[in-house]
Amino acid sequence: MHLATTNLAVVNKLIAHTHANHHVIDHHGFHTHTAHHLGSLHFLGATDNKIEELYKDMHDEVNFYQDSPHEITRTNWRQSIGDKRFCKAYQEFFDQELAAAGNDWHQKFMEFLLDNESGPLINCVVAGVAHPLIHIGYAFELDSIVVASEALTMCAVCYNYLHEVIDKLKPPKSGSKSALTIFQDLRSDHRLPLFDGPGV
């Protein structure tokens, strides 16, 4: 099977268009999937024309940006975390901060994710059905500063009580085991006779 060659420039152009015009969360409360879809289409080898055609279909029902109650700055950026009304302000803030970092935007991105030792932004990547986490993956896979800004925006506006689950995690007192060891322990535990034969 031969996959078509695609130009990442088309994907980047369409992601930039969405980024400039649409909320990362729509009026139904759903997260944008545009970067996920476009990135997947690119990696699966869709042609540029097909990507553009499907992009038009993706935007039948989208939410244009609404103004935020106030601007987000370096001094107040943690004060409105979890408030979806600040989508535009957060995106503008993260756009500026990442752009100012230039080629070091990856480092600046990680600084924002890990900014607060007691409650870092990264602890809420599981909120919003893990969409912030998915977006982070696409930011690095596409090497896209635009998707990175959207990922930080999602982390900020989706921040909710779920971060407490991760905030409160403590290292195990008895040490830890690898995933393979845990599976082997489960498989050999006679109290869990789930399967008759090996291979599961």
Diameter of the chain by CA atoms? 62
Given a cut of 90, is residue 90 above it in pLDDT?
A: yes
Count of the separate structural domains present in the chain:
1
Q: pLDDT tens digits for 23-65?
A: 888 767 778 888 999 999 999 999 999 999 999 887 755 566 6
**79 found inside a domain:** yes
**116 found inside a domain:** yes
**125 found inside a domain:** yes
Residue 6: predicted pLDDT? 60
Given a cut of 50, is residue 119 above it in pLDDT?
A: yes
Residue 2: predicted pLDDT? 45
Residue 160: predicted pLDDT? 80
Indicate the pLDDT class of residue 10, thresholds 50, 70 and 90: very high
Q: pLDDT tens digits for 167-176?
A: 777 777 777 7
**185 found inside a domain:** no
3 state SS of 76: coil
* Average pLDDT over every residue of 128-150: 92
**199 found inside a domain:** no
Indicate the pLDDT class of residue 121, thresholds 50, 70 and 90: confident
Residue 122: predicted pLDDT? 87
Range of the domain at 22: 8-166
**119 found inside a domain:** yes
**195 found inside a domain:** no
Specify the pTM.
0.79
SS3 annotation, 92-108? HHHHHHHHHCHHHHHHH
Q: pLDDT tens digits for 69-79?
A: 999 999 999 99
**196 found inside a domain:** no
